[in-house]
Amino acid sequence: MNKKTIWITGGSSGIGKAVAIKFANEGWNVAISARRKDLLNEISDKNENIEGFPLDVTDKSKCNEVFEEIKKKFKDIDICFFSSGTWNPSKEKNIDVESIEYVFKINFFGTLNCIKAVEDYFKNKKNGKISIVSSIAGYRGLPNSTGYGPSKSALNNLAETLYFDFNRFNVRVCLISPGFIKTPLTDRNNFKMPFLKSPEFAAEKIYDGLVNKNVFEIHFPKSLTLILKIFSFLPNKIYFGLVGKMTKYQKK
């Protein structure tokens, strides 16, 4: 029986790395991509099922080249898991246009570049899954999130749009909405993160959602995400008041 294959971007650390290890331990071929070749080698050296393919997702042509390399190596790709992202809380408190552009370049356009690279392959194959890692920060606007939140909100809308476009070809588009997961990115946060979970917890939820279930959105931990989903339906006045009090974000 041929082993199934998953391509993971943002695979050198955090959720991407944990998902790579989880799928590899379950017997999958795993192609991991990130900018730092040394970290990819470190991971692949420890697991024979994982192979690194260095990539800067902001480079459109390189996205195409790397996907061609992965196809040549593994022949058949079953799942793409696009999780490249960045976040700099020190630059989110004010409108820093250059910083916001950079965040969108990686979080949104980097993901879009990868999706474009695999579009024809999956539509011709008429099978497979494309998963987009967003965040609970994309549900509604939050204080001190001028770049990260809007970039994730854009990914949410993109995933919903692509769901219709790919569903006609029997290709499943899946949105991943993690809560607070302990990663190098969240380590930059200077506030208490409720219901903080490990990358391994996230990987278990993602594996189960992608392999064993057929849902559009995989969100976790439910103790946090369900509360925020309720918040998303609240009238603006109530939402702004509640979030303002919870984050102690008051008028100056």
Q: Tell me, what's the pLDDT at 251? A: 53
Q: Is residue 239 part of a domain?
A: no
Paired tokens of 64 = 């195409």
Q: Is residue 85 part of a domain?
A: yes
Q: Is residue 126 part of a domain?
A: yes
Q: Is residue 52 part of a domain?
A: yes
Residue type (1 letter), 27? G
Q: Tell me, what's the pLDDT at 190? A: 66
The CATH number of residue 124's host domain is 3.40.50.720
Q: Is residue 99 part of a domain?
A: yes
Residue with tokens 């969100």: 219
Q: Is residue 230 part of a domain?
A: no
> What is the distance between the alpha carbons of residues 152 and 194, in angstroms, rounded to a whole number?
19
- Strand stretches in the chain, DSSP E: 5-9, 29-33, 50-52, 79-82, 129-133, 172-178, 217-220
- Structural domain boundaries enclosing 173: 5-224
Q: Is residue 251 part of a domain?
A: no
Positions annotated as catalytic residues are 148
Q: Is residue 237 part of a domain?
A: no
Q: Tell me, what's the pLDDT at 87? A: 79
- On whether the pTM is more than 0.75, the answer is yes
Q: How many structural domains does the chain have? A: 1
Could you tell me if 19 and 207 are in contact, meaning their C-beta atoms sit under 8 angstroms apart?
yes
Q: What are phi and psi of 133, to 5 degrees?
A: -90, 115
Q: Tell me, what's the pLDDT at 188? A: 74
Paired tokens of 115 = 């999706």
Q: Tell me, what's the pLDDT at 136? A: 92
- Each of the 252 residues of the chain gets a pLDDT tens digit; together they read 579 999 999 999 999 999 999 999 999 999 999 999 999 999 999 999 999 999 999 999 999 999 999 999 999 999 999 999 997 777 777 899 999 999 999 999 999 999 999 999 999 999 999 999 999 999 998 888 889 999 999 999 999 999 999 999 999 999 999 998 887 777 676 667 778 899 999 999 999 999 999 999 999 999 999 999 999 899 999 989 988 887 775 454
